[in-house]
Amino acid sequence: MNKISVGGQAVIEGVMMRAPNALAIAVRKPNGDVVVKEDVWRSLAKRIRFLRWPMLRGSVVLIETLVNGFQALSFSASQALEEERKGAPEGKLNSWALSLVMAAAFGLGILFFVVLPHYLTGFLGHFFSRDVGVQSFSFHLIDGIIKVFFLVGYIYLISFLKDIQRIFQYHGAEHKCIFAYEAGEELTVSNARKYSTLHPRCGTAFLLIVFIISIILFSVIFPFLPKFPTLSEGWANLVYVGIKLPLIFPIAGLAYEVIKLSGKKPNHPILKIVIAPGLWLQRLTTKPPLDDQIEIALRALKGALKLESHQKTIL
Helix or strand holding residue 225 (H, E): none
C-beta separation of 4 from 312 below 8 A: no
Q: Where are the alpha helices (DSSP H) in 189-287?
A: 189-193, 203-221, 233-264, 269-285
Residue 136 buriedness (CB in 10 A; 0-12 / 13-18 / 19+): middle
Q: Look at residue 84 in the predicted model and tell me its pLDDT.
A: 55
Q: Look at residue 2 in the predicted model and tell me its pLDDT.
A: 67
Among residues 166, 169, 14, the alpha carbon closest in space to that of 82 is found at: 14
Greater pLDDT, 304 or 3: 304
pLDDT tens sequence across 85-130: 555 454 455 556 666 766 787 788 889 889 999 999 999 988 887 8
Residue 267 buriedness (CB in 10 A; 0-12 / 13-18 / 19+): exposed
Report whether pLDDT(46) > 90. Answer: no
Q: How far is CA 200 from the centre of its chain?
A: 12
pLDDT tens sequence across 127-144: 887 878 888 999 999 999
Greater pLDDT, 197 or 109: 197
Q: pLDDT class for 189, splitting at 50, 70, 90?
A: very high
